[in-house]
């Protein structure tokens, strides 16, 4: 057990059924968060694509469902008035989508926007089990390079409050050889330059990777660079809220982090002290 109580922690990365692969409505997540005694809960469902690009894939909310999303978060706020509930979105960063991302940013009173890279090439979402065979046909080094180049552009865009799951291509257990800091350094530099924070995402613990995203080496570099950090579950079901937070906190502390950040209306605020 960590000595940092859940009552000071926040979980800003949770999903809803509107993305077609998560269960539980915001009120169900809020009940779980209140039960754990978390300080704050945030929603960050997978962002809509512009109508012209639909149908894009089968794992995000439709633009037409955005009002339902906002309503469902409002319902959770009304049902759990003592829990601070933040409104966010997990936006796919794809080069060339910057104007669309700016449009999304104006569509609601977001507390935070997560920039996540899933697509490393058109039609190839690197974390989708449907494409796992590509790890056999393409060098892992190249797959990681595609991902981290996109992640660097995501960080450099300055469009987001924090980036999601920074070393996602390890999800199925594929890691290149050698010192992986060659992938991390440009991303961390871009995050520092744009004042963008990042998350420890505990979902990796529940995947073949068997550890949080990102790894300790990334976290140590990020600490040296003075980056802001959050710890999130990426829950796709209410039972996953706050999952693995003990391990997330221990990892953050091991890397030298002493505090977290949180967001309100896209302003960064001091978060929990890690002790």
Could you list the beta-strand ranges (E) of 147-265. Answer: 162-163, 197-201, 229-232, 259-264
Please, are residues 161 and 268 in contact by the beta-carbon 8 Å criterion?
Answer: yes
In the complex with Zn ion, which residue's Cβ is closer, 17 or 271?
A: 17
Contact segment (CB under 5 A) with Fe ion among 49-57, 75-83, 112-120, 151-159 equals 112-120
Task: Read off the DSSP letter of residue 59.
Answer: S
Q: Does 234 bind Fe ion (CB under 5 A)?
A: yes
Site for Zn ion in 230-269 (CB under 5 A): 234
Write the binding mask 52 to 91 for Fe ion: x where contact by CB under 5 A, - elsewhere: --------------------------------------x-
Q: Does 92 bind Fe ion (CB under 5 A)?
A: no
Could you list the beta-strand ranges (E) of the chain. Answer: 10-11, 40-46, 84-92, 112-116, 119-121, 124-125, 162-163, 197-201, 229-232, 259-264, 267-273
For 134, the token pair is 């590509």
Contact segment (CB under 5 A) with Zn ion among 26-34, 49-57, 71-79, 226-234 equals 226-234
Q: Does 116 bind Fe ion (CB under 5 A)?
A: yes
Instruction: Quote the least distance from Cβ 116 to Zn ion, whole Å.
Output: 6
Neighbours of 166 (CB within 10 A): 28
In the complex with Fe ion, which residue's Cβ is closer, 116 or 196?
A: 116
Task: Tell me the backbone φ, ψ of residue 48, rounded to 5 degrees.
Answer: -70, 155
In the complex with Zn ion, which residue's Cβ is closer, 161 or 234?
A: 234
For 24, the token pair is 């539980």
List residues near Zn ion by CB under 5 A.
234
List residues near Fe ion by CB under 5 A.
90, 116, 164, 234
């Amino acid at each position: 057990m960590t000595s940092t109580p859940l009552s000071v922690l926040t979980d800003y990365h949770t999903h809803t059924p509107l993305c077609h692969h998560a269960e539980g409505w915001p009120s169900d997540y809020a009940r779980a968060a209140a039960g754990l005694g978390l300080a704050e809960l945030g929603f960050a469902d997978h962002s809509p694509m512009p109508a012209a690009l639909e149908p894009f894939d089968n794992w995000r909310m439709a633009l037409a469902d955005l009002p339902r999303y906002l309503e469902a978060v409002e319902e959770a706020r009304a049902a759990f008035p003592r829990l601070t509930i933040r409104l966010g979105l997990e936006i796919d960063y794809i080069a060339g989508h910057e104007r669309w991302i700016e449009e999304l940013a104006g569509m609601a009173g977001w507390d935070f926007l997560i920039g996540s890279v899933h697509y490393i090439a058109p039609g190839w979402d690197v974390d989708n089990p449907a494409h796992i065979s590509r790890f056999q046909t393409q060098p892992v080094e190249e797959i990681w390079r595609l991902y981290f180049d996109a992640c660097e552009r995501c960080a450099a865009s300055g469009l987001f409050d924090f980036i999601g799951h920074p070393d996602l291509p390890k999800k199925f257990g594929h890691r290149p050889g050698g010192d992986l800091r060659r992938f991390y350094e440009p991303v961390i530099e871009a995050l520092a330059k744009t004042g963008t924070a990042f998350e420890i995402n505990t979902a990796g613990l529940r995947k073949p990777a068997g550890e949080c995203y990102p790894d300790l080496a990334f976290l140590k570099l990020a600490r040296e660079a003075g980056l802001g950090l959050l710890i999130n579950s990426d829950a796709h079901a209410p039972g996953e809220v706050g999952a693995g937070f003990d391990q997330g906190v221990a990892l953050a502390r091991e890397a030298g982090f002493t505090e977290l950040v949180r967001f309100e209306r896209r302003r960064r605020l001091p978060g929990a002290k890690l002790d």
